[in-house]
Chain A
Amino acid sequence: MRRYVIKRLAQAVGVLWAAYTVSFLVLDFLPGDPVSAMAGAGMDSGQVDPARIAALRHEYGFDKPVLAQYADHLGRALRGDFGDAVSTGRPVTATLADALPQTLRLTGAALLLAAVLGGGLAVLATYTSRRWLRQLLLSLPPLGVSVPTFWVGLLLVEAFSFRLHWFPAFGNDGLRGLVLPALTLAIPTGAQVAQVLAKSLLTALDQAYVETARAKGAGRWRVHLRHALRNASLPALTVVGLLVGQLIAGSVVVETVFSRDGLGRVTAAAVTAQDIPLVQGVVVFGALIFVSVNLIVDLVYPLLDPRIVVASDRRAGIA
């Protein structure tokens, strides 16, 4: 078990390094650099002093060869220093740390809503013996996945803010302000959870052990929740791990639509301004969150299914 965790941690470090390197290379190949973008933004007249740009380039190290820049940046990134954001001059790490709590609150709430709504939908759809209700419930997830996030956000704002005045349309104020953006983000996520969980619940309910349970005299809820659900939860859990990445990406849209501060807004601004250090910080940070969540998911597997640790050990034994 400990070896397994160490192996997984090593993999996580590898993923982070790859994320850093790929983002570095991609950003390096893009035309233009942040200095000219910044200089251009700063002076509306279009008259830019070439000497000033050269000085800035030198200051940020853009005049060095790519490899030297890479080694230099990687070395500092390892110490947690991603440099200063070009557009604001503030350290990248501090900028991200400021934006993080808002986004964590948003994505956390969205994930919770997605699990509760999606899981509930899946359990209900597979439990009901009314055919029309099952068909209706099972048709919701594809719908939820296919509608664009920003459109859902606008609809919700229109209905619940402008018409009903239940929740504020934008801003970061408290729990009430969180409801609409979290719901917007949760709808496509929950739909995918529901889709996968419903499918694996139906598969689980078809297994022979379900018949054994029913032959014991177990009621339908007992069979559904105590026998089928735990067996069906593994694929859904895998999907949740993958959806965390989607939630972070989705926060870009949702935070923009609802004018919330957070990682998504920082990302949007950084990309617009071609703020390479900040974009890199966001990419590596996003990868860090993604890798951590999936490591946690993998460590939860054996708790849900006792066969899994044995399988990983056996593989290690033969290899």
Chain B
Amino acid sequence: MTRPGRRERRSRPPVPAHPLDENGTDMTTPLLEIRGLSVSYRTRGGTVAAVRGVDLDVFPGQVTAVVGESGSGKSTTAHAVIRLLAAGGMLDAGTIRFGRHDLVTLSEAELRTVRGTGIGLVPQDPTVSLNPVKRIGEQVAEVLRIHGLATRRAAAAEAVAVLDRAGLPDAAVRARQYPHELSGGMRQRALIAVAIAANPRLIIADEPTSALDVTVQRVILDHLQRLTEESDTAILLVTHDLGVAADRAQRLVVMEQGRVVEAGETATVLADPQHAYTRRLLASAPSLTGPSAAARAPITTAPRDASRPEPAESSPPLVEVRHLVKEFRLPRAAGGHRTLRAVDDVGLTLRRGQTLALVGESGSGKSTTARLVLRLTDPTSGQILFDGADVTTAKGAQVRQLRRRAQLIYQNPYASLDPRLSIGEVITEPLRAFGVGDRAARLDRARDLLDRVALPAATLERRPAELSGGQRQRVAIARALALSPDLVVCDEPVSALDVSVQSQVLELLAELQADTGVAYLFISHDLAVVRQIAHQVAVMRAGRVVETGPPADLFAEPRHAYTRELLAAIPGSRLPVPVADTATTS
């Protein structure tokens, strides 16, 4: 039986290399040349082709971005280069020429000499990509130790230097710490240090900043770019974010369903996209300039029109939060007890049928604020009014009543649906919990809700695992609306989804709001998304609301320096302004 991830073609000798300049400065010969690459995965249901005949070049000293949605094969292509495919992955055909080697035909042992020294990998999720039980310095030094580039002691010292080069402050201290003691951004720097430790000529960066805050993302990408410019290293950048690709890459490769549909100079591709898929990607990229979903949504109930907020103004707000404070006690430090003010004197007002967006980076207190509003956690001080009633210290039946009127949509639709329940059971669970209707009535309601979120009624019988991410989030939305709540808290509801799916889900949310008059408390780190959906925006930083206002004003004339910083950090300033008529939503 053939081993996964390996091809039985070892009998063929490596093809002689292209005449390549030793320093890799020859810009006309690619450093990495992929030809006719096909990869498939063996699953229980049969063989699935993930990459089909991909050609791709990476030139020395350049950033080449591979963009596409999930399932497009971009990540598989990148991992195939160092033959680190997930279980069941098979290289079926093609050549991957790197310098003098065809990586497809190298033996596992020869390949190990290329990994780390020739090609470095910056993985996707810094929170899980470092070994939790080893010190940071040790993990960087390991690269040098494996390839015999330094003795144990020299490697330790070198690791500190590399960490410093990767932009990690206090590198000597960090080297002695464990991954869990570092923030996500710091961990990604440590992983960059791992990737660059042996001075590879190519770095494969697989969604290197998707898990990070937008300001951290910018700093990390800046640093990665500077490092490669200094050392003339090439980067193969895999990203779902067209904005990131537009800002960083000299060359752009667009993938769809395992094929390269378009490739070329970034500026050329963006200015004049040839393929329909590229145009669609460009159109659905959330931007700060296009029309917003809230404004685009068909308005059926006139008083809830966002552009005319006057009638809503007169009614009492649905949620009013005053001087809200939440403190967490930190582990005892040398100076005795310390507390963290996660939410610091926050005041918010959310009107019926409107969307209030909380924006900020991780740790800014936006999720804690939402949890306080839902009474999932107790405030240290302050006041929460829900529909005029004080629910700050509500208990028992009152909280249960609140649960019925305020629902939650989670960030990750892959984790928030019980895999053992059918979709019908998922959607009717809130109804069952509150004993609403009989079995038949609940099923009717579920069918109606599925119809509203544009899923076929047959979905009722299916399980979450059979649905795509976008479909799952639609199910989560249907579940949240089952009890006809007044408020739905959306905690980063689209950040786990592809851009084209993102815009569809946002439009759905806006439509449902127009139909039902539900209010959204919408948490997001993505200002472009917020701009599409929100009537009011509150920018949070370190537990405080630093600025509030309608998105149009806020983004046009940000008053607070932090808002300006957030806006500047959004990638995609080089993206062309989307034209409304190219938007094709299916």
Q: Would A214 and B142 count as touching, CB distance under 8 A?
A: no
Closest to B120 in A: A215
A133 to B114, CA, bound (A): 30
Q: Which of A209, A218, A305 has the most CB of B within 10 A?
A: A209
Task: Name A233's closest neighbour in chain B (CB-CB).
Answer: B133
From residue 210 to 243 of chain A, which have CB atoms closer than 8 A to chain B?
211-219, 222, 227, 230-231
Interface string of B111-135 (1 = CB under 8 A from A): 0111111001101110011111110
Q: How far is the CA of A228 from the CA of B203 in the complex (A)?
A: 25
When chains A and B are docked, how far (Å) is the Cα of A317 from the Cα of B328? Answer: 9
Which of chain B's residues have a CB closer than 8 A to the CB of A208? Answer: 123-125, 128-129
A2 within 8 A of B: no
The answer for the CA separation of A131 and B180 in the assembled complex, in Å, is: 36
Q: Answer yes or no: B329 CB below 8 A from chain A CBs.
A: yes
Q: Given the known A-B contacts A307-B180, A310-B331, are A211 and B129 also in contact in the complex, defined by CB atoms under 8 Å?
A: yes
Q: Is the CB of B180 within 8 A of A216?
A: no
Bound-complex Cα distance A129 to B108 (A):
13
- Pair A217/B330 contact, Cβ less than 8 Å: no
A215 and B82 contacting across the interface, CB-CB below 8 Å: yes
Q: Mark A291-307, 1 if CB is under 8 A from B, else 0.
A: 00000000000001111
Complex Cα gap A209–B132 (Å) = 8
CB–CB A216/B143 < 8 A? yes
Cβ of B9 within 8 Å of any chain A Cβ, yes or no, is: no
Which residues in chain B, 412-471, are within 8 Å of chain A measured between CB atoms?
none
Complex contact B330–A317 (CB within 8 A): yes
Q: Do A219 and B112 form a contact, CB below 8 Å, given A209-B129, A211-B129, A318-B328?
A: yes
- Interface residue from A218, A231, A310, A314 paired with B133 (Cβ < 8 Å): A231
Contact at B121–A215, with CB atoms within 8 Å? yes
A217 and B331 form a contact (CB under 8 A): no
If the complex has contacts A222-B146, A318-B328, are A209 and B128 also in contact, measured as CB distance less than 8 A? yes
With A307-B178, A310-B331, A314-B331: A215-B123 Cβ-Cβ less than 8 Å = yes
Of the listed residues B113, B115, B337, the one surrounded by the most CB atoms of chain A closer than 10 A to its CB is B115
Contact string against B for A residues 160-188, beta-carbon threshold 8 Å, 1 for contact and 0 otherwise:
00000000000000000000000000000
Interface centre among A216, A304, A313 (most CB of B within 10 A): A216
Instruction: Point out the residues of chain B lying under 8 angstroms from A212, CB to CB.
Output: 121, 123, 129-131, 139, 191, 194
How far, in angstroms, from A313 to B130 measured CA to CA in the complex?
Answer: 23
What residues of B have a CB within 8 angstroms of the CB of A272 in the complex? none
Q: In the assembled complex, how far is the CB of residue A262 from the closest CB belonging to chain B, in whole angstroms? A: 38
CA distance A314 to B333 in the complex (A): 11
Q: Which residues of B from 285 to 341 have beta carbons under 8 Å from A?
A: 328-332, 337
**B1 touching A216 by the CB < 8 A rule?**
no
Is B84's CB within 8 Å of the partner chain A? yes
What residues on B are CB-neighbors of A131 within 8 Å? 1
Residue of B nearest to A3 (CB): B332
Complex CA–CA separation, A207 to B130 (angstroms): 10
Residues of A within 8 A of B131 (CB): 209, 212-213, 227, 231
Task: Evaluate contact between A217 and B113: CB separation under 8 angstroms.
Answer: yes
Q: Does B400 contact A (CB under 8 A)?
A: no
Main secondary structure, interface of A, reads helix
Chain A: minimal CB distance from B404 (Å)? 29
8 Å CB contacts to A: which residues of B344-388?
none
Contact B128 A215 (CB under 8 A): no
Contact status B130-A209, CB under 8 Å: yes
A318 to B125, Cβ gap below 8 A?
no
Structural contact, A216 and B133, CB atoms closer than 8 A: no
Interface residues of A in 261-313 (CB under 8 A from B): 304-307, 310, 313
User: How far apart are the CA atoms of A114 and B417 in the complex, in Å?
Assistant: 41
Which single residue of chain B is at the shortest CB-CB distance from A309?
B331
Write the nearest CB–CB distance from B166 to chain A, whole angstroms.
14
Q: Which of A129, A215, A313, A318 contacts B84 (CB 8 A)?
A: A215
B3 within 8 A of A: yes
Q: How many A-B residue pairs lie within 8 Å, measured between CB atoms?
A: 87
A234 to B276, CA, bound (A): 52
CB proximity of B430 to chain A, nearest CB, Å? 30
The digit string for A103-136, where 1 denotes a CB below 8 A from any CB of B, is 0000000000000000000000000010100000
Taking CB atoms and an 8 Å cut-off, the chain B residues in 60-88 that contact chain A are 82, 84, 87
Cα-based distance from A317 to B114 in the complex (angstroms): 47
Q: How far is the CB of A222 from the nearest CB of chain B, in Å? A: 7
B106 to chain A, nearest CB (A): 12
Across-interface contacts of A213 in B (CB, < 8 A)? 131, 142
**A207-B128, A215-B116, A217-B112 known; A317+B123 contact, CB < 8 A:** no
Chain B residue at minimal CB-CB distance from A230: B133
Distance from A103 Cβ to chain B, minimum over Cβ atoms (Å): 35
Q: Would B146 and A218 count as touching, CB distance under 8 A?
A: yes
- Cβ of B76 to closest chain A Cβ, rounded Å: 13
User: Is B147's CB within 8 Å of the partner chain A?
Assistant: yes
B3 touches A216 (CB 8 A): no
Q: Do residues A215 and B115 form an inter-chain contact, with CB atoms below 8 A?
A: yes
Q: Give the distance to chain A from B340, nearest Cβ to Cβ, in Å.
A: 11
Which of A207, A217, A227 counts the most B-chain CB atoms under 10 A from its CB?
A217
Whether A313 lies near B331 (C-beta < 8 A) is: yes
* A219–B111 alpha-carbon span in the complex (Å): 10
Contact with B along A191-218 (1 / 0, CB 8 A): 0000000000000001111011111111
Residues of A within 8 A of B146 (CB): 216-219, 222
Contact status A305-B332, CB under 8 Å: no
Q: A214-B115, A222-B146 are known contacts. Are A306 and B133 too (CB-CB below 8 A)? A: yes
CB-based contact A318/B329 at 8 Å: yes
Distance (Å) between the CB of B428 and the closest chain A CB? 34
Task: Give the chain B neighbours of A304 by CB distance below 8 A.
Answer: 133
What's the least CB distance linking A317 to chain B, in Å? 5
Chain A residues in 8 Å Cβ range of B87: 206
Nearest chain-A residue to B140 (Cβ)?
A: A216
Cross-chain contact of B180 among A211, A227, A306, A318 (Cβ < 8 A):
A306
Contacts of B147 in A (CB 8 A): 217
Q: Which residues of A contact B84 (CB under 8 A)?
A: 211, 214-215
B125 to chain A, nearest CB (A): 6
Known contacts: A211-B123, A216-B143, A307-B178. The answer to whether A317 contacts B329 by CB under 8 A is yes
**Could you give, for residues 88-117 of chain B, a 1 whenever the CB lies within 8 Å of some chain A CB and a 0 otherwise?**
000000000000000000000000111111
Q: Restricting to B121-166, which residues have a CB under 8 Å from any CB of A?
A: 121, 123-125, 128-134, 139, 142-143, 146-147
CA distance A131 to B116 in the complex (A): 29
Q: Which of A214, A218, A307, A314 contacts B132 (CB 8 A)?
A: A307
Chain A residues with CB under 8 A of B117:
217
Assembly CA distance A306 to B134 (angstroms): 8
**B129 near A216 (CB under 8 angstroms)?**
no
Report the nearest A residue to B114, measured CB to CB.
A217
Q: For residue A219, which residues in chain B have a CB less than 8 angstroms away from its CB?
A: 112, 146
Which B residues lie within 8 Å of A230 (CB)?
133
Contacts of A231 in B (CB 8 A): 131-133
Whole-angstrom distance between the alpha carbons of A208 and B120 in the complex? Answer: 15
**Chain B residues at the A interface, C-beta cutoff of 8 Å:** 1, 3, 82, 84, 87, 112-117, 120-121, 123-125, 128-134, 139, 142-143, 146-147, 178, 180, 191, 194-195, 328-332, 337
Q: List 30 A-B contacts (CB under 8 A).
A: A129-B3, A207-B128, A208-B123, A208-B128, A209-B130, A209-B131, A212-B130, A212-B191, A212-B194, A213-B131, A216-B116, A216-B143, A217-B114, A217-B117, A217-B147, A218-B112, A218-B146, A219-B112, A219-B146, A231-B132, A231-B133, A305-B132, A306-B133, A306-B180, A307-B178, A307-B180, A310-B180, A313-B331, A317-B329, A317-B331
Having A129-B3, A131-B1, A213-B131, one finds 10 other A-B pairs with CB under 8 Å, namely A212-B194, A214-B84, A215-B121, A216-B146, A217-B115, A217-B146, A231-B132, A231-B133, A306-B178, A313-B332
9 shortest A-B CB distances, which residue pairs? A217-B116, A215-B121, A217-B115, A208-B128, A209-B131, A208-B129, A216-B116, A306-B178, A313-B331
